[in-house]
Chains A and B, each alone.
Chain A
Amino acid sequence: MKKLIAMVLACIMVLTMTACGAQKDDVAETDKTTETTKETTTETAVEPTKEAEKSTEIIHLVAPKTGFTEEQMQLEKDNAAANNTKIGPGAQFYFDVTAKIAEQYPNYEMEYVDWGWAETLDQKQRSLILSGNAPSIVAGETFMPVYASSGMLEPLPQDIVDMVNPSFLIYDPEGRPVSVAYKSSVFLLFYNKTLLKNAGLDPENPPKTWDEWKQMSDAVTASGNGEIFGGGVPSFPHAGGSLRATPFFRQMGVDFGGGSTINLTDPKLQETLQYIRDMNANFPAGLGNNSDEGPLWSEFQDKDKGTIAFAVNGSWQKGAMIDNGHDWGVTALPLPEGGVVGNCMVGAVYVGVPITAEHKEDCFNIIRVLLDTEIQKNWLKEGTPSALNIYIDSSAEYPEDITLQAAADALKSGTIKGLTTFNKNDAQVWEIINTKVLARTTMTNDPIDTICNEAQAEIENLLK
């Protein structure tokens, strides 16, 4: 009996190994065929010079978040037709990039993949990197600093670095820029002028300091009879909270730390938390720190609502305020007494080229197209700051757009970073900051130093 089982098992193993082996050979054979095709293509083309030979070589590039597939294009067109509108500038950007690559680099066989965003995209990219099939370009937002710090990204060519604002770059541990955001935004303070007027405040005089903001927000809440609220600093228990709170910490000259250190015991950081807690009283209870941030934005911007006077949000907020017919304004984030200008990059789409990618220079050509001066104007039309220096240093392309001007002023005031990165367990550390520091600060009356000390101990354990 044992012999029989052993025989059957051995047969299955041999069969499986043979099958796998055959599959591998098939793949190798396919590769060879492809290579032969490539060679044939190259050989049959007119190739008077080496350069020409290069340009006719078919180069297959896999790139998420860079262009649109045929299906995505059709979907955008159908949506626009269904709503009887034009294709929006955000989608138009990808149409233009796709067209420009096809025109300028006809030998590029582009595979525009849609791998989702955030965790989904991260998981897909890591699994490919792990299997040795890294995409030609990797994209992302919050996890891109982790990629950069792991040393897996190729340094950017100098011409790309020179054309963008330094705030749009991510650096590797050796200080080399390795990733660039082709779009990003910063936080601004949006306000509803009607609500300020109704509370007896001057809507043309937005707050410049923390104290002024608190006084104005308190006044709106006090006169709102539980229906209208002033608004404050959101402390959602996820990245939406930490992104919006971070500028206020940076204005006090502190941050959460980074690398292998955590900085929750800093008195200035705790002072900022106290301000965030005080301002939270100006939100409807449970809305400023809700897991779902949708209801808060709905109260601020919806046509039939508009019950919150102030909102800290990215420049994209402008669109909803216009569409919903609000009388609105925007200004730089208020500063604490003796504070410094501080902000945080948000809504960025960073791209970089993995060290293991083939045809690196061609990958950088794709990034050059993403940063094309004409194509970048789409972001300005959308109300999102462009990465290019020419559009940050001069507002000639958007003379009437107060939101973009405020964002450009923030970007000109100094290099703005995204959220800081931790060497180990980055996502877990941020989760503790989001839930057990920020949200707990506004959800409870627990002493702030207790909150910070407990979280500090927990995070230190994760960073060991």
Chain B
Amino acid sequence: MEVVGRQERILTRKQRQSRRAYAVILPFFFYISIWSLLPLVIGLLLGFTEFNALNGLPKWVGLDNFKTFFGSKDYIILLVRQVWMGGLCLIANVVLSFLLALALNIKHPLRGFFRTSVYIPNIAAAAITSGVFIALLNPFNGGLNMFFKSIGMEPIIWNYSQFWMVFWIMIFFVWRSVGPAAIIWLGGLQSIDASLYEAANVDGASKLQQVRYITIPGLRFISAYILLTGLIGVMQMFDVVMLISHGNPYGKTDVLMYRIYRDGVVSFNMGMAGAASTILGLVTVLIAFLAFKIISKGDKNE
């Protein structure tokens, strides 16, 4: 019996390696559970309560907050707007950062300077840079309207128009985010084997054909990373909206994430904030899953 017991405890090399690996990552799992999973669970549970942080403990209200969410077209409109405004920002950012990366990949004496420059807007404090944007957009004597007046054009009252405010939100978002995405694209571009381009040149392929048949396929994993992280980012986007438009004109640029922020820490309607967060989280997971499926479809085909 004793021999059998000892035999059971003998581990293969692979098992020993696995144990060591688990021992290394276990503290991090524990850390993540405390700081990420626990708040997530609390947020989820809050969605089933009524709680304003003044009158004692949360009161269980079941699905009431979820009924309010789906019973009012206002929350649905905000969710849809989060998707389409976020989508616009994401597409613009992905395309422009890719083009920027292509430009930064060209050998030029000032290449290092430009690579650093494109990253700076992301480091600069958003509250300060958004202040510059807002000053430029001042309807009466803002920089842009003063310029229009000086060339004989009619000033534009930017804050009256949903189109223009979405446009400026997108510009500010891309201006801040394009640098980091371009640097990642650039890393991908430089990891493509240079001999492929040399062979393409020998075969007489044009620059456009080289991008189409070498660069883009070579960047599939990088693009998957940029798209998925970007997608999650825009589904959580509210700071740009808050800083540039405050959801105006009259709520026409408001998005669900900004509403969750206001429900939670302005109105202290923690129940609605929890319920809306849960729904937004599920929608984000669903969209990210679909995006992942589409991206990985190419892999399977190959």
| Residue pair B265, A119 in contact (C-beta under 8 Å) | yes
For the complex, give the distance between the alpha carbons of A261 and B245 in Å. 29
| Residue pair B140, A1 in contact (C-beta under 8 Å) | no
In the complex, which of the residues B74, B134, B158, B262 contacts A461, with contact meaning CB atoms closer than 8 Å?
B74
Shortest CB distance A17–B (Å) = 13
User: Is A130 part of the binding interface, using a Cβ–Cβ cutoff of 8 Å?
Assistant: yes
For the complex, give the distance between the alpha carbons of A237 and B250 in Å. 7
User: Is A141 part of the binding interface, using a Cβ–Cβ cutoff of 8 Å?
Assistant: no
For the complex, give the distance between the alpha carbons of A284 and B149 in Å. 14
For the complex, give the distance between the alpha carbons of A248 and B165 in Å. 30
Taken residue by residue from 107 to 139, chain B's Cβ proximity to chain A (1 for < 8 Å, 0 otherwise) reads as: 000000000000000000000000000100011
User: Is B246 part of the binding interface, using a Cβ–Cβ cutoff of 8 Å?
Assistant: yes
For the complex, give the distance between the alpha carbons of A371 and B33 in Å. 50
User: Is A291 part of the binding interface, using a Cβ–Cβ cutoff of 8 Å?
Assistant: yes
- Complex interface residues of chain B between 260 and 284 (CB less than 8 A to chain A): 262-263, 265-269, 272
A/B pair count, beta carbons within 8 Å: 110
Residues of A within 8 A of B210 (CB): none
Question: Which of B47-55, B94-102, B229-237, B286-294 has 4 or more CB atoms under 8 Å from chain A?
Answer: B47-55
User: Is B209 part of the binding interface, using a Cβ–Cβ cutoff of 8 Å?
Assistant: no
For the complex, give the distance between the alpha carbons of A286 and B134 in Å. 13
| Residue pair A152, B250 in contact (C-beta under 8 Å) | no
In the complex, which of the residues B53, B158, B250, B269 contacts A435, with contact meaning CB atoms closer than 8 Å?
B250
- Complex interface residues of chain B between 1 and 52 (CB less than 8 A to chain A): 15, 18-19, 22-23, 26-27, 30, 52
- Complex interface residues of chain A between 47 and 71 (CB less than 8 A to chain B): none
With both beta carbons as reference points, the residue of chain B lying nearest to A128 in the complex is identified as: B53
Taken residue by residue from 184 to 213, chain A's Cβ proximity to chain B (1 for < 8 Å, 0 otherwise) reads as: 000000000000000000000000000000
- Complex interface residues of chain A between 434 and 448 (CB less than 8 A to chain B): 435-436, 439-440, 443-444
With both beta carbons as reference points, the residue of chain B lying nearest to A434 in the complex is identified as: B250
For the complex, give the distance between the alpha carbons of A268 and B43 in Å. 43
User: Is B105 part of the binding interface, using a Cβ–Cβ cutoff of 8 Å?
Assistant: no
Tell me the count of chain A residues lying within 8 A, CB to CB, of chain B: 46
Taken residue by residue from 111 to 132, chain A's Cβ proximity to chain B (1 for < 8 Å, 0 otherwise) reads as: 0000000010011001101100
User: Is A358 part of the binding interface, using a Cβ–Cβ cutoff of 8 Å?
Assistant: no
Question: Which of A154-162, A325-333, A420-428 has 4 or more CB atoms under 8 Å from chain B?
Answer: A420-428
| Residue pair B267, A427 in contact (C-beta under 8 Å) | yes
| Residue pair A150, B52 in contact (C-beta under 8 Å) | yes
- Complex interface residues of chain B between 54 and 101 (CB less than 8 A to chain A): 54-55, 68, 71-72, 74
For the complex, give the distance between the alpha carbons of A444 and B252 in Å. 13
In the complex, which of the residues B54, B72, B266 contacts A150, with contact meaning CB atoms closer than 8 Å?
B54
Shortest CB distance A286–B (Å) = 3
Ranked nearest first, the 4 interchain pairs of A and B with the lowest CB-CB distance are A286-B139, A286-B157, A440-B250, A427-B267
